[in-house]
Amino acid sequence: MDEDKLYLGIDYGGNGVKMGLVDGYGNLSSSRTRPTANLTDADECRAFATEILDFIHDMGIYTSELGGVGLAIPGIVEDGFLTPNVNTDWPLLIESIVRTLSVPSIAVLNDANAAALGELWMGAGENKHSVLLVTIGSGIGSGLVVDGRIVSGVHGAAGEIGHMTVVPDGRPCSCGRRGCLERYASARGLVQSFNEAADELGLFPEQLGPFAPVSETDAQTVFLAAKEGDPRALYATEIMADKLGFALAQAACVVDPGIILLGGGISASADQFFDELHEAFRKYSFPACRDIEIRPATLGDTEGVVGAARHAMVCAEQDRVASYADDYL
Ligand SMILES: [Zn+2]
């Protein structure tokens, strides 16, 4: 592995695109963020690739000094690209970046797996061989690295913990089924539980606090209300912790990871539900898995860039394009 090279990581998220230069030891030396855009024709893709080139040049680097380029995308990368939240022509974009940067290839991976890889390399999963990173925002995604290898599954659906059934015949989900974890433990699920709590608990109006989420994903107001003892918010956080603990315990039975990390917007409020989450996890866990550590992720919004760079580094070392059987240890 060439530690003296710099590796370019690009994290193409639904809410922003982050690019960064990472050295062979995992240090992120510089990064830049731009808004996400749908890149559907050659001119748009070329313009984006030129932005990347400008970023590299602004950092005083020549593309010939790059050891590799990694691209994390928000969706499935298996026999083609499936990214329901971003309408971008990925093959065209990849071709534009390859041509503009004059690099031999780009190592592509799923963004949740990139985040898990970043945490495994430089974050809270350091020195662990297996990590399950669950990202909780408006939805729930997860990245899975087992024995140093990204696990994406035959259909690219491994780690889709957000769509694990936690309440049979429960709330309808965007995937077409009912009772999925993300309907209860995402920001959206938390707000829904808050809004349904008065009826569920049979509360009288005088028992309700003054709090009202301003949107369907306004978890912050619910957490603020929970701090003030609002019964609806306490009910919502209890459901969130219980369902998440249940799902993590089931995942642990299959994967038995060295550590479980929580990332995404809600993880910043982890202290609001961690005690209940640990309690639920232990309650539902197979005895051998009960003591698996659960912690917030530590790299924040740079984990995808660092993970994409790591993927590029490993692929470059093995002199080939992206694969899902990579050994990252
Ligand atoms: Zn679902």
pLDDT tens for each residue of 77-98? 766 777 777 888 999 999 999 9
Task: Please report, in tens digits, the pLDDT of each residue of the chain (329 residues total).
Answer: 566 789 999 999 877 899 999 999 999 999 999 998 889 999 999 999 999 999 999 999 999 999 999 999 887 776 677 777 788 899 999 999 999 999 988 999 888 899 999 999 999 988 888 999 999 988 898 999 998 888 988 887 888 899 999 999 999 998 899 999 999 999 999 999 999 999 999 988 888 889 999 999 999 999 999 999 999 999 999 999 999 999 999 999 999 999 999 998 888 888 889 999 999 999 999 999 999 999 999 998 899 999 999 999 988 887 655 443 344 44
Question: How many angstroms does the Cα of residue 263 sit away from the middle of ligand 1?
Answer: 19
Q: Which two tokens stand for residue 62?
A: 């020549």
Question: How many angstroms does the Cα of residue 4 sit away from the middle of ligand 1?
Answer: 44
Question: How many angstroms does the Cα of residue 171 sit away from the middle of ligand 1?
Answer: 9
Tell me the C-alpha distance between 318 and 107, whole Å. 12
Question: How many angstroms does the Cα of residue 16 sit away from the middle of ligand 1?
Answer: 24
Question: How many angstroms does the Cα of residue 209 sit away from the middle of ligand 1?
Answer: 31
Question: How many angstroms does the Cα of residue 174 sit away from the middle of ligand 1?
Answer: 6
Question: How many angstroms does the Cα of residue 182 sit away from the middle of ligand 1?
Answer: 7
Question: How many angstroms does the Cα of residue 186 sit away from the middle of ligand 1?
Answer: 12
pLDDT tens for each residue of 267-279? 888 888 999 999 9
Q: How many CB atoms lie within 10 A of CB 212?
A: 11
Q: What is the pLDDT of residue 213?
A: 95
Question: How much is the mean pLDDT over the chain?
Answer: 90
**Which domains are seen in the chain, by residue range?**
6-110+310-317 (3.30.420.40), 124-298 (3.30.420.40)
Question: What's the chain look like in SS3?
Answer: CCCCCEEEEEEEECCEEEEEEEECCCCEEEEEEECCCCCCCHHHHHHHHHHHHHHHHHCCCCHHHEEEEEEEECCEECCCEECCCCCCCHHHHHHHHHHHHCCCCCEEEEHHHHHHHHHHHHCCCCCCCCEEEEEECCCEEEEEEECCEECCCCCCCCCCHHHCECCCCCCECCCCCECECHHHHCHHHHHHHHHHHHHHHCCCHHHCCCCCCCCCCCHHHHHHHHHCCCHHHHHHHHHHHHHHHHHHHHHHHHHCCCEEEEECHHHHHHHHCHHHHHHHHHHHCCHHHCCCEEEECCCHHHHHHHHHHHHHHHHHHCCCCCCCCCCCC
Question: How many angstroms does the Cα of residue 178 sit away from the middle of ligand 1?
Answer: 7
Question: How many angstroms does the Cα of residue 61 sit away from the middle of ligand 1?
Answer: 44
